Each structure stands twice: as structure tokens, then as C-alpha cells.
Amino acid sequence: MAGRLEGKTALVTGATSNIGRAIAEEFAQQGAHVVVSGRSEERGAEVVDRIRSRGGRARFVKADLDGSPEASRTLAKDAESALGGRIDILVNNAGIYPGGGTSEIDEKTFDQVYGVNVKAPFFLTAAVAPSMVEAGNGVIINLGSWIARLGIPGALYSSTKGAVETLTRSWAAEYGPQGVRVNAISPGVVHEKVPGEVRPGEVMMNGTPAGQMGHPADIAKAAVYLASDESAFVHGIVLDVDGGRTTVAVIAR
């Protein structure tokens, strides 16, 4: 039985850990030829080996997406070459989360976070989308965050994810009429579960229908849906995969 992404090519940024890795592995499982991109060659090789051991197709392309147009354009070019000249699906997943409150953030950190979280996907999309438009089809998936809409401390990161979700809607308007679908996923607190380990963010899922953290595979399955033809009529949405965090309050009884 053919996979849902059979014959497609995909570039996944930040694909050497957590959500990005899960998306890359699930895409490959569904038949896509995947470029795994990230800064660590060692971790990238591990992801590629896992994909290939299961019969999938993958290549690692190293990239340090610092927000410069050159870095994004170089990744686009290298990924296209690795995939045989075309990217059908782009997943803008790479991002960084700064520590500290607003008064503790200096300008260098501010610029770095906006560079990685906003400028990098902006210029990568700018580099990849024209080929999709020329082909008359393509899919772009951005990773937002639940804290872009439910305020908690962490203004800098939240604002970058708010920007990404706004870009999603604007790009859907810009590229949708030309055959390119653009959507976003907004994950809740998501981590691979380690027995005995308590994640600081896990408490944020208290009072939700799920009542616990999500797994990276939960986001990966949503990404497959948005990347596949099953969502052909879906444009410009932010798909909440957050255990109900932003939409539902469970009242304790």
C-alpha cells in the first residue's frame, strides 16, 4: 500500500530532534524523500540512519539558519540538489527558546531569536516558494505555538510564534491562488517522554482534556495530513494540536 506522501519530496528544518525529527521520520514512513536539516551532523546522521533502516529515503543537509537570507537560500539550493531539483513540501520547524524575562533579554538575544524563528523561515519560504509556484503546486507548513494566543511569561518567544502564524495567513493569501497551500500547526507542550523525568512545562497541561504532555508523533501525524492531498481544500489555518490547551478548560469536580 502506497504511503500518503508517496513520490513527494520534503525539506524539514530543525529535524534532528523532538518535533522536527518526528515529522521527518513520519514523512519518510509515508513515502516522501526527505531532507533532514539541522546544525548537528551527528544527530542528523542518526535521524537519516533511522529512516533508512525502516526502508525510507533521506539525506542530511547541514544548515545554521541564523536569519540571514544567504543561509536560507543556501539551504534551499542544497536541499533541492539533494532531492533531485524540487521541493514539494517545506516544513519551517527550526526555532530557539530564550531563557529569562523581558527585562533580562538583551538586544543580541532579541535579534538572535527573531533571526532564527522569523527571519529564517521568511527567507527560506521566499527561496522555495517560487519553484512551487512555477510547478503549480506545493505545501508549506509552519510551526506556531499555543503560547502565541494564550498569554504566559515568555514574551519574546511568544511574539515570534505570533509572527509565524500571521505569516502563515499572509502567505496563504499570496501563494494559495498559485497552487501552493500554506498552513501552520500550533503544538501544545510536546516532548518525548522519559521514564522518571519531569519536564518543567508539563504542569502547563494540567486542566486540559488531555491532562498530559503530547508526543512529537502527535504533531507529525498532523503534519502528514496538512502535507497530503487529503487537505487539498485547507488554506491558511493554524491547526491546534495541543491537548485542548487553548480552547477548553476542564473544571475540577
> How far apart are the C-alpha atoms of 15 and 12, rounded to whole Å?
6
> How far apart are the C-alpha atoms of 4 and 19, rounded to whole Å?
19
Which positions ≥6 away from 141 have C-beta within 8 Å? 89, 90, 91, 92, 182, 183, 184, 185, 223, 226, 227
> How far apart are the C-alpha atoms of 141 and 120, rounded to whole Å?
14
> How far apart are the C-alpha atoms of 147 and 77, rounded to whole Å?
33
3-state secondary structure of 185: strand
The active-site residue out of 97, 114, 157, 175 is: 157
**Is 175 labeled as catalytic in the residue annotation?**
no
Residues acting as catalytic residues: 157
